Structure 1
């Protein structure tokens, strides 16, 4: 048990088989004593800003057509790309699983000790406690949506989610909680955190009320509670509504903001591993949907010749503009909240509101001379427009994988995805169990109480 906890949590203050690392001061280490100690570990962005990585390869906005690029793809990303039954060998690590549980362990350390820490005000302690709840909720949102089946109210109480760890106890059982229990924990933690957080953060890597409301909007969207999803999206937008105008950069990308200064970023989370240096090749259907006049195409897409090694096709380029080559933003942002509101409006037969929101976004995504405003049609047409706009807005980030998964519950959007990889055709049917990632064999071998996902 201790060994597995170390592997899935990877906590800096735990050594395999050595419980004293969480009980007394160690040479070269410092026991968490003062409130400022807890502030320091929550500001460790290398641990707590981690999002996810592998879903970038799963989604249908990625399409590796270049045969040489296929050969160059490492075994684990190749398995993910082709939706294999298992992605990892018996001794291979899952970087997403480990980094997200490492963040959870860190949050649990804060939750267990910060209120009893020294030399801090009660308000400071409550804020740090709330920040830890928010970071933990984000990690569980990622985990349950990667390793659990899509939330379905009819089956969520019995569907396998992920282990829910609420304390830094080395001996906590690691049985998988149901999807319903994981979602309940996410919502409970977020609602508990809101009161003690600032409206907006000093730095967008820190939680805030806006971050909490945006994560609640995301969470309720995944559960198809469109009333609450819209409400929390609107509450978020009442606090933060900055929207990049890509027309500013149509002739020069100089001055494109870093993520920490990006007015669209509400809560900064980034891919949990280095973004592929050679770039992710983009799907041809996505490129067709974008069209050549969309500034998201002209700015954020580059021919394969621009990458090293070069490839035939086109790759994702946006992260290079902010001089953060390996940082792809995956936390909630203003455009996402606007699109959640628009989707919920369309689903409630309010095509006019949905279309107005789309036009607000899209006027900032096209040269003025090139833009033709959308006009309200039916609610279903508006919903289709919102879904397509999400494809345009979030490509290359991995967020499309979660949209595919949830939209399979809508007959109008359920799609069969096919890929040819290294001469073999792979098919992903709507609502396939392959939409649920397997648990790494390594973790189950070390702790058999973790059940494997149905594949």
Structure 2
């Protein structure tokens, strides 16, 4: 956009023509055509951002190799050991900045697209709706990381995150409550749904399938299991294909890029982090077992990475041949697991186990697959939680599961890890499950309240 403005300014100097007088001033960002807004929302370098740092916080990651510990940056080490602050007064938080950049971009689109030129009304409404969904997803990420887990008893008073709904650069940054942020997410997505297609042209664009998936995630975090199941069902009614990992055991070159992955509902990836081999926890490896194709395909010895390390690391994102693009947006498998968890919590054991078996059948070679048997609702729920861990390891989503499952006595667990000779302990429902806000942002904006 700036290149065009500079070119027009140069033409004005050279020609002196009157028709170049009525141009936007240099440095002014002006979006005029509907296609301008499409280009903004299709800028995946910005709009595809999700969560990142939780990969180090969660118990799927365990840095047992001393070289991995020594090589970890200060920010990542702070997240790994659940420190009260991760960043110095001058360091930026990549996740915080990227997610709020997405939100600002969405607010710019919503502020102007409906009055833009050379576009149909349907196109304008769809772009407006896509911006709503991107904004909602970004707020879901933010409130999941930087606020307490949703609790109906305290959500109205627990600090959430700054809620910016216009592109006003001077808006208040006082934190809205957790309940207010969750309500905004739900409101944005529900408003968007009528103008969205069922499926997107590209999985980086929101569609109804993605909108329903985001609602399923949101309601699951709120422990509104009836609505979580309802929206997972709606998403699966549109998009239900899952990858059959058995197809890739002898032809790994055929493994799809994430943008061509039929299982991805809404493509979101980590924000600019460089992961030189994510060392996996031994308890996770034991849970997977060596027959699970998620182990044989997505786990590699540390010698496969550079620099090499002792132990085993997460490999799946390497198949997509897209650098460090670790995907953690909603998938078909996730919606199956959301539905299964809600069914188990409603004592519908058969539905929960059937969903797990449908998924697991595609995750084992035929000779190694054994169907799960229905037992009690508690057994089914435990199986779902374990399956979520097998399905999402290495993506950062496990941290969010740990956080929300602390509300269940059966799953609340104390996590310990040793780092550079010091032992660190994370208690269930600890304040350390709430990410600190970078001190840099509070110094610049004192109205932002720090987390305890």
Q: Offset of 1:251 from its aligned partner?
A: 1.9
* 1:217-228 correspondence runs (5 A): 217-228=216-227
Q: Offset of 1:28 from its aligned partner?
A: 6.9
- Out of 276, 288, 291, which is 2:289 matched to? 291
Q: Hey, what's the Cα distance between the residues in 1 that align with 2:116 and 2:27?
A: 20
Gaps of 5+ in 2: 1-22
1:149-204 alpha-carbon deviations (Å, 9 max, x no partner): 00000000000100000000121000000000000000000000000000000000
Counterpart in 2 of 1:54? 53
Consecutive aligned runs of 4 or more in structure 1 exceeding 6 Å deviation: none
Q: Hey, what's the Cα distance between the residues in 2 that align with 1:144 and 1:25?
A: 37
Normalised by the length of structure 2, the TM-score is: 0.94
SS in 1 for 2:198: coil
What value does the CA root-mean-square deviation take over the aligned residues?
A: 1.1
Contact 1:275 1:327 in 2 (8 A): no
Gaps of 5+ in 1: 1-23
Contact 1:358 1:386 in 2 (8 A): yes
Q: Offset of 1:56 from its aligned partner?
A: 0.5
Q: Offset of 1:324 from its aligned partner?
A: 1.6
Counterpart in 2 of 1:33? 32
Q: Hey, what's the Cα distance between the residues in 1 that align with 2:446 and 2:170?
A: 14
Counterpart in 2 of 1:86? 85
SS in 1 for 2:254: coil
1:275-332 alpha-carbon deviations (Å, 9 max, x no partner): 41x2110000000000000000000000000000100110000011111231111110
SS in 1 for 2:161: strand
Contact 1:275 1:328 in 2 (8 A): no
Q: Hey, what's the Cα distance between the residues in 2 that align with 1:324 and 1:168?
A: 32
In the alignment, structure 1 residue 268 sits paired with structure 2 residue 267: yes
Contact 1:162 1:182 in 2 (8 A): yes
Counterpart in 1 of 2:338? 340
Max Rg structure: 2
In the alignment, structure 1 residue 331 sits paired with structure 2 residue 326: no
1:185-244 alpha-carbon deviations (Å, 9 max, x no partner): 000000000000000000000000001000000000000000000000000000000100
Range with bigger deviation, 28-37 or 416-425: 28-37
Counterpart in 2 of 1:398? 396
- Out of 433, 442, 445, which is 1:444 matched to? 442
- Out of 327, 341, 356, which is 1:358 matched to? 356
Contact 1:52 1:273 in 2 (8 A): no
Contact 1:190 1:216 in 2 (8 A): yes
In the alignment, structure 1 residue 425 sits paired with structure 2 residue 419: no
Counterpart in 2 of 1:162? 161
1:77-134 alpha-carbon deviations (Å, 9 max, x no partner): 0000000010000000000000000000000000111111111111111000000000
SS in 1 for 2:252: coil
Q: Offset of 1:30 from its aligned partner?
A: 4.9
SS in 2 for 1:254: helix
* 1:275-286 correspondence runs (5 A): 275-276=274-275, 278-286=276-284
Q: Offset of 1:273 from its aligned partner?
A: 1.8
Aligned length: 431
